[in-house]
Every structure is written in structure tokens, then in C-alpha cells.
Amino acid sequence: MTWLLLASLWLVPQPVQGADSLMVAARRAAEQWMHHDFSAMVGTGAAVMVHLPGTEPSSPLRPTQAAELLRAFAEGAREIDVEILVARNVDPDRAYVEAQRTYEPRDTALRRTQALYFGFRRTPAGYRLVEVRALP
């Protein structure tokens, strides 16, 4: 029985040495949203899809375009918190993170919440952000 348990543990996929876990990537994205550091959030590599309330979903954007679009969307708000609610691998190459943003629109004390979804693609170096959605 012990050998069966050990064999099953050996067969469980292990993370790549040095690669970020999904929770590390999720926390990093939440922290970067919190500080409106969208350039760091989208990175410098591949294209990023952006879906924002009141707009049509974008085609994949260059990171600089995605960062500017997110900055323009969030600039009128003061972030209070960005909490990770769920982080889940969809398949071996893709993962999604659901977060809740708590913020105050500029010049008000009215707190609002908004659901955020971050889509990630797994790479040998860890998880790379490929999609950002903000729900109304």
C-alpha cells in the first residue's frame, strides 16, 4: 500500500524549478492592479486581450497598448483592495484568477466593488498574463 501511495505522488506533475506558482502570479497581478502598475502587469512580451465594461472586447493588444487602456480605465479611482477569490488551472496550459476590486471613484467616499478576471498562460518560466476582464 505504501509503495502505491509513493508511486502516485511521483506521478503528480511537479512545478518547473524556479517557475512561479499560479497563486504567486495571481497575487502579483492583484498587487500591480492595486498600484495601477499596468505596464508591469502586462509585461513586455506577447499580446494581451482586454475586456472592459462599456467596450467591445479587444483583439490582442501589444503590452504598451493594453497598459494604456487599463490605465485610462482605472485612473479615476483610488484602489482600496484587490482580493483573490479563486485561482484555478483550466488545463495544463491555461489558468484563470477571479479577484474582487474595492475602490472609490475620484472625489467621492462611495466604495464600489468590481469583479476582475485574469487569464494566464503557463510557460516554462511560470505564468504569463494574456487576458484581463473587468465586469460592470
pLDDT at 46: 85
pLDDT tens profile 56-76:
877 899 999 999 999 999 999
Q: Is the dihedral of CA 94, 82, 64, 16 positive or negative?
A: negative
CA angle, 114 then 83 then 77, to 5°: 45
- Residue 130 is part of a domain; what is its CATH number? 3.10.450.50
pTM greater than 0.95: no
Question: Residue 10 falls within a domain, yes or no?
Answer: no
Question: Residue 42 falls within a domain, yes or no?
Answer: yes
Q: What is the DSSP string of 67-118?
A: HHHHHHHHTTEEEEEEEEEEEEEEETTEEEEEEEEEEEETT----EEEEEEE
Residue 45, all three cell numbers:
512580451
Residue 99, all three cell numbers:
479577484
Question: Residue 4 falls within a domain, yes or no?
Answer: no
